Amino acid sequence: MTDFNYNFNSCPERNGYGSLKWDKFQGRDILPLWVADMDFAAAPEIIAALQARLDHGVFGYTKPFAAPVEAVLNYLERQHGYQARASWLDFLPGMVPAINLCVHAFTQASESVMTATPVYPPFLSAPDYAGRELIKVPLCLDSQEHWSLDIEAMEAAIQPHTRLLILCSPHNPVGRVFTAAELTELADFCERHDLILISDEIHCDLVIDPDAQHTMTATLNDAIAQRTVTLMAPSKTYNLPGLACAFSVIENPQLRQQFQQTIRGIITEVNCFGYAGCAAAYNHGEAWRQELLRYLRGNYELVYDFIQRELPQITFRPMQATYLAWFDVSALGLKHPAHFFEQHGVGLSDGSPFDGAQHLRLNFGCPRDRLEEGLQRMKKAVGTI
Ligand SMILES: Cc1ncc(COP(=O)(O)O)c(C=O)c1O
């Protein structure tokens, strides 16, 4: 690890900063390996841009101005081959409010929403909060034991009043990068059933499998582009969730208008640091991101090998993206798996809110020695069963 230009091995102290991740276990010897927030400091290039913005000294209301807009448009084209226009963009203070507002914008009370489970919990709560029926279709394993979308089961489950499909691509929590062929099948499904597709692609720049490539849903073909609402943010990749800056890309003017009317007066402006961080991430963050991916790949291999070798009772299938490992712990026979591991000093995400009871999610976006310690604690814990 000596050939790294950026330091991922040591991290700033987070106690005392209101960290959601760390404060949960404050005062207890529990390693927080849960919520999707990495322990690494942001790229120095981003910190410098934020410092320059701070030095300006005036923090007035800020609209989506040229610097972040151009940074996003250039990034979409450079990274994902997507030629978007400025008028298709809306900046948002978070993806979660956007997911919730999409449900309001694009469905009536009598219409239903479909998603593939297990999945990021706000996909499940958003229809519930809006009083819409939710149709959950479990992911399936394909012939190569990859998690995949079960189009056949989706065909069987769809209702005449289903209007919206919420996709997580790449998929949190299973870490799958769907191929263009799989996404095209999904696009055809949306076309057949006249669905609007909310494509949450927040993890798209965290592909750790060198053989996998992310495809933006909206780049598949014109038909799906016209029914897609893409939601993205630099926050996962560059570890900036506290800056609260995300964006939507909506090509279809009618859908865009529906969305904009719904968020009006409800969604706040993105703040000036959010814009500065977003522009710096996309314009100057690539060298840091490449090293981050290399570091995360090393962490993933550590977790994978450790689980196969030391904890074979846990099923952990190979993953391609994200820094979130999804464990099936049903063979351990635990009543409350997350509580059990907390009692043994490891704070993992409980699978139940993802619709994955008897599963746990481990965040390996942390220094390697912390990860090693967490895995050793897990082994020790399992040894007590
Ligand atoms: C799939 C997915 N969407 C959205 C978010 C959160 O987005 P935001 O912090 O912008 O609300 C996360 C965070 O983990 C996520 O995994």
- Over 76-130, what HEC string results? HHHHHCCCCCHHHEEEECCHHHHHHHHHHHHCCCCCEEEEEECCCHHHHHHHHHC
| pLDDT on residue 175 | 98
Position in ligand 1 atom list of the atom nearest CA 233: 10
Instruction: Identify the bridge partners of residue 148 per DSSP, sorted by sequence position.
Output: 140
| pLDDT on residue 101 | 96
Distance 242 CA to ligand 1 centre (A): 12
Position in ligand 1 atom list of the atom nearest CA 241: 9
- The model's confidence at residue 143, banded by pLDDT at 50, 70 and 90, is confident
Distance 244 CA to ligand 1 centre (A): 10
What are the tens digits of pLDDT across the range 295-352?
Answer: 999 999 999 999 999 999 999 999 999 999 999 999 999 999 999 999 999 999 999 9
Query: Exposed, middle or buried by CB within 10 Å (0-12, 13-18, 19+), for 29?
Result: exposed
- Which residue's CA is the nearest one to ligand 1's atom 7? 95
| pLDDT on residue 144 | 83
What are the tens digits of pLDDT across the range 277-292?
Answer: 999 999 999 999 999 9
**What's the Cα-to-Cα distance from 151 to each of 102, 182, 190, rounded to whole Å?**
23, 9, 10
Distance 21 CA to ligand 1 centre (A): 14
Q: Where are the domains of the chain?
A: 20-42+286-383, 49-284
Greatest Cα pair distance in the chain = 59
Query: How many whole angstroms separate alpha carbon 130 and alpha carbon 124?
Result: 11
Position in ligand 1 atom list of the atom nearest CA 246: 10
Of residues 363 and 146, more confidence is placed in 363
- Which residue's CA is the nearest one to ligand 1's atom 4? 95
| pLDDT on residue 242 | 96
Distance 120 CA to ligand 1 centre (A): 8
102, 120, 239, 243: which to mutate for ligand 1, most atoms within 8 A of CB? 120
Q: Are 243 and 360 in contact (CB under 8 A)?
A: no
| pLDDT on residue 145 | 85
**What's the Cα-to-Cα distance from 256 to each of 72, 252, 266, rounded to whole Å?**
18, 6, 16
- Which residue's CA is the nearest one to ligand 1's atom 14? 36
Alpha-carbon dihedral angle through residues 65, 70, 73, 75, given to the nearest 10 degrees? -120
Lining ligand 1 with CB less than 6 A are: 36, 94-96, 120, 168, 172, 200, 202, 233, 235, 241, 246
| pLDDT on residue 314 | 98
Alpha-helical regions (H) of the chain: 20-23, 44-56, 66-80, 95-106, 121-129, 151-157, 180-192, 222-225, 253-263, 272-284, 286-310, 337-343, 368-383
Query: Exposed, middle or buried by CB within 10 Å (0-12, 13-18, 19+), for 137?
Result: buried
Query: Exposed, middle or buried by CB within 10 Å (0-12, 13-18, 19+), for 133?
Result: middle
The answer to whether residue 234 scores a pLDDT higher than 90 is: yes
Return the CATH fold of 49-284: Aspartate Aminotransferase; domain 2 (3.40.640)
38, 125, 236, 319: which to mutate for ligand 1, most atoms within 8 A of CB? 236
- Cα 364 to its chain centre, rounded Å, is 14
Position in ligand 1 atom list of the atom nearest CA 98: 11
Query: How many whole angstroms separate alpha carbon 260 and alpha carbon 271?
Result: 18
Pick the CATH number of 20-42+286-383 from 3.40.140.10, 3.30.2130.10, 3.40.50.1000, 3.90.1150.10: 3.90.1150.10
Q: Are 43 and 253 in contact (CB under 8 A)?
A: no
- Which residue's CA is the nearest one to ligand 1's atom 13? 36
Query: What's the chain's average pLDDT?
Result: 97
Q: Is the peptide bond before 173 cis (omega within 30 degrees of 0)?
A: yes
Position in ligand 1 atom list of the atom nearest CA 96: 11
Distance 310 CA to ligand 1 centre (A): 31
- Cα 290 to its chain centre, rounded Å, is 18
Is 200 in a helix, a strand, or coil? strand
What are the tens digits of pLDDT across the range 97-126?
Answer: 999 999 999 999 999 999 999 999 999 999
Q: Are 277 and 42 in contact (CB under 8 A)?
A: yes
Same fold, 20-42+286-383 and 49-284: no
Distance 373 CA to ligand 1 centre (A): 27
| pLDDT on residue 2 | 65
Distance 203 CA to ligand 1 centre (A): 9
Is 340 in a helix, a strand, or coil? helix
96, 238, 240: which to mutate for ligand 1, most atoms within 8 A of CB? 96
- The model's confidence at residue 1, banded by pLDDT at 50, 70 and 90, is low
Distance 92 CA to ligand 1 centre (A): 12
Distance 121 CA to ligand 1 centre (A): 10
Query: How many whole angstroms separate alpha carbon 93 and alpha carbon 155?
Result: 34
Distance 267 CA to ligand 1 centre (A): 16
**What's the Cα-to-Cα distance from 330 to each of 142, 175, 227, 333, 376, rounded to whole Å?**
21, 19, 39, 6, 20
Worst-scoring range by mean pLDDT, 77-81, 127-131, 141-145, 160-164? 141-145
